[in-house]
Every structure is written in structure tokens, then in C-alpha cells.
Amino acid sequence: MNWFQHQLTLPAYRRGFHLITRHIVEAIPELATIQVGLLHVFISHTSASLTINENADPDVQTDLESSFNAIAPESFPYVHTCEGPDDMPAHVKASMLGSSVTIPITKGRLCLGTWQGIYLCEHRNHGGQRSLVLTVQGRTIS
């Protein structure tokens, strides 16, 4: 069993849902050597999150952003307001979606469905760069 780990720094994205599958795959050259295994992706921030969802229709990204804004609006009477009106809603959204995703690997490829992609969910108006830890565990191709 082999383990590989990489740090990936993503550029600053505007608020919303952004497909990052390609960035992740490009950051793990060892992926092609894994016969069977798992990729764990962890975001080390509390106001952004990760999810897996449809990667084909960009309307999905728009609708996800609209839905989460309705669930955790900036107009709610939050107590934690010292970092701006978008901060506490960002924490709520990040808690709902989570800080990690795990994807199976088979024959050197991520086992995502045909219409699935990995999203960075940027919940701040100006979140800045985001750091991911990419950990692969698996048996290499012999």
C-alpha cells in the first residue's frame, strides 16, 4: 500500500461554486500509478467548502449558489459579525457542505460519475487563495 500527499493552492475565486477536478488531477502525478485506492481532498479553511455535483450544466452552479444564499442569508441577525456580513453565512454554508470529499480510484483514474465533478464552494465575497491537502492511498499498478 502506497501513500502520497500534495498541497494544492488554488487561486482566489469569486463567490460561487467552481469546478476544480482538473486542478486536483494535475496536482497528483502519482494518480496514474494507482490500481485501486482512495483520494481524500481536504480544504483547510472555515469559510469555503468542497462538494461533488453535476459538472455539465453551468446552471447547476448558479442554482447551488442561489439556494445556499437563501438558506444562509447575509440579512440573518448573526452575532459573529466582526469579519463582515458575508463571513458568518460562509461558516454556515461550509458546515453544511463539509471540508472534505473522498473519491475511489481505479486503474489510475478517479471514479467520478459521468456528470460528476469536484467543486470548490467559495462562500466569501473575497476569500483569497484556498489550500487543499490531497492524500492518495492505494495499491500501485504492477
Query: Sign of torsion, CA 14 127 11 117?
Result: negative
- Kindly report the CATH number that applies to the domain delimited by 2-140: 2.60.120.460
Contact indicator for 68, 110 with CB cutoff of 8 Å: no
Per-domain residue ranges for the chain? Answer: 2-140
Contact indicator for 91, 46 with CB cutoff of 8 Å: yes
Burial degree of 22 (CB within 10 A; 0-12, 13-18, 19+): exposed
The pLDDT of residue 141 is 86
Whole-model pTM: value is: 0.96
pLDDT per residue of the chain (142 residues) written in tens, 0 to 9: 999 999 999 999 999 999 999 999 999 999 999 999 999 999 999 999 999 999 999 999 999 999 999 999 999 999 999 999 999 999 999 999 999 999 999 999 999 999 999 999 999 999 999 999 999 999 998 7
The pLDDT of residue 95 is 98
* φ, ψ of residue 95 in degrees (nearest 5): -65, -35
In whole angstroms, what separates CA 125 from the centre of its chain?
Answer: 17
Nearest to 86 by CA among 58, 123, 116: 123
